[in-house]
Structure 1
């Protein structure tokens, strides 16, 4: 196909007396092409070719999403889409990204990195589970991520209440084996009491006491500026994108938390992190964390129950066994809201733990709670009736 200017040059050269061969040599065109356009009275019309799909087509949405997040490094995105199955070359990706770069530069920001042990970030994510009756039940994912190494801890819970949040922190510290110097939060109400306040007045009083108990400094990210806690924001997205699609069925919160722990140990924390270019578990070895305060911070009041004669207590219409020696005594129930219950005696010692039952009127018994019960119950007890003395001859009974 000739261009419009070549069309006019062909006709101009012809008007000057040149033949088809001479015109073709002058314009470096084929003789047949020259002859064709000498016979035509219309300008050449370009028709867009029906192109074949690009190898990049299935990844363009993901690339733009990542660029919107501030990642404009073609090599990083090339590694990410290769892991997703991309088989094309880096040059195709660079050409696609080029017109978007100028637009994204205004959104790009300098990534804030912290030294080892300095900071962790915490956030919640919401997930839905389909029930048999077609309705959905909501579960909440607590996520703590170390700012330097990017090692993560994840736990699914029933709610996001303050007692649940603090319990999750304690289990996360046990998982990491230490406490960071600072922890960054958004304006969640269980942490930030008044976002417009300054100093200690802005924090939830109970949560601030917990922070002092574990000796870390809570930090609040800037309002309406989610990038200031972008590490954990990306952690939530990664959990939703990489872990959640693997789950087909859920038996209980305990089952779900066991699955996410396997995922943390075999996928999340042992992968090559695309930003740091390190494996989180290896980078975590350089995290210099503070020791954990081993004394449990019992924020909420324990729910009191009396142990029944069958060595069980009732909680939310289900029954759980306790050691038989506590029959008739009062014990305290601590619901961890992650599928587990803990039971404490009157002195504050944890005497047993159970997996939380679903439904109503179910029993969960631990055989060890009944060991020695038969011997104990057969001990001699005080008589409750007069003792009969047989009558003997020659004996005078006094009235």
Structure 2
């Protein structure tokens, strides 16, 4: 069954003018299946099924090893794994072996060159840094254009879907466009799994993101990560050439600034060892496609109320916003690359370098300009005056009055 992620790819291929036969051949699907899904206007609601362990799971590593040794006969392997305890049938074995057969036909890796503007490759690398008093893991997002070998690099806090989408948008902005196809491995934020025939089940939200901006998703061959060797080599180049240059950094934003300098002054202007040309010189030949001008939802935004001191709180630190927004609710967007953006509706009102620890206060002095003058002309607060308590008043009377009271008191 076609999953919703593939639904968007089918309709995108059709919009590009591909015939039903061409789409079926590209995706390895039956023409009737493609026609059926093209008639649908909306994808079917995805219902997650509980994945049960397969009888073949304990033997897959052994099967792959035997196939790499040259044994591609399912019946021979069936006899061998049954001797090891396998109790399933040959059909399940053949379904597992089918996508691996093209891999083991030749052990040599044939370099696959693409036409300009056709393909980019994406992958993550992991790097360890000394972060305050502890060791922290950072993630390097790398995108490489297949034809020119132009590279984009960005360090992030995690590999989450929202982070991945944001990295794609910033890479497209760096390249001034996108390719027709982007190649991935089995990263969970892109490939949710495989169906019974071995076809990828695409992450539905990421597939909608790709469909929105007009590029197709493609997975490298299972157990064959070398099919995305351009980006693998790119990550290795980052590790060998950039990383030894980084001695210290003041935060994730500063680290990414150093990475950008390296891209512009080293990586993309060197003579590439395969093309024997500088990536920056072949880059104009890519003729990349523009993005959809309507923005796709990049990341979740967090609502916060601006306090009277012009600050908003986020992840145990506080950030300033312009003083006219005091008392209003704004939205915080964490780019996960060392930057914080703050919006009022769709208007960007503040941008900060993200705090590296807890309890920090990040302030932009411009946000307070005009605050003093705005207070001039206010009615002054009354100031009560201290007055000493006066002496009590004493009534003065004639002495004859007291004599009268005395006569009355002694009269019988």
TM bracket (short chain): 0.5 to 0.7
Partner of 1:375: 373
CA contact (8 A) 1:187 1:195 kept: no
Q: 1:319 to 1:132 in 2, by over 3 A?
A: closer
Does residue 107 (structure 1) correspond to residue 107 (structure 2)? The answer is yes
Q: Which has the higher contact order (CA 8 A, sep 6+)?
A: 2
Q: 1:197 to 1:129 in 2, by over 3 A?
A: farther
Map 1:178-327 onto structure 2 (within 5 A): 178-196=177-195, 202-327=201-326
> The residue matched to 1:248 in structure 2 has which SS?
coil
Partner of 2:351: 353
Q: 1:299 to 1:200 in 2, by over 3 A?
A: farther
CA contact (8 A) 2:153 2:260 kept: yes
Structure 2 unpaired stretches of 5+: 1-104, 383-412
Does residue 161 (structure 1) correspond to residue 160 (structure 2)? The answer is yes
In the comparison of the two structures, how many residue pairs are matched? 279
CA contact (8 A) 1:206 1:299 kept: no
> The residue matched to 1:245 in structure 2 has which SS?
helix
- The offset of 1:217, in angstroms, is 0.6
Map 1:87-166 onto structure 2 (within 5 A): 107-131=107-131, 133=133, 135-166=134-165
Map 1:61-76 onto structure 2 (within 5 A): none
Aligned CA RMSD, in angstroms, stands at: 2.4
- The offset of 1:380, in angstroms, is 4.6
After superposition, give the CA deviation of every residue in 1:155-197 in whole Å (9 maximum; x if it has no partner). Answer: 0000000000000000000000001111000110101112336
Structure 1 unpaired stretches of 5+: 1-104, 385-399
Q: What TM-score results when the alignment is normalised by the length of structure 1?
A: 0.66
> The residue matched to 1:144 in structure 2 has which SS?
strand
| C-alpha distance in 2 between matches for 1:210 and 1:235 | 25
Q: 1:374 to 1:152 in 2, by over 3 A?
A: same
CA contact (8 A) 2:155 2:255 kept: yes
> The residue matched to 1:129 in structure 2 has which SS?
strand
- The offset of 1:299, in angstroms, is 3.9
Map 1:45-64 onto structure 2 (within 5 A): none
| C-alpha distance in 2 between matches for 1:200 and 1:377 | 66
> The residue matched to 2:274 in structure 1 has which SS?
coil
CA contact (8 A) 1:162 1:190 kept: yes
| C-alpha distance in 2 between matches for 1:197 and 1:212 | 24
Partner of 2:73: none
| C-alpha distance in 2 between matches for 1:199 and 1:177 | 35
Partner of 1:55: none
| C-alpha distance in 2 between matches for 1:301 and 1:155 | 20
Partner of 1:96: none
Q: What TM-score results when the alignment is normalised by the length of structure 2?
A: 0.64
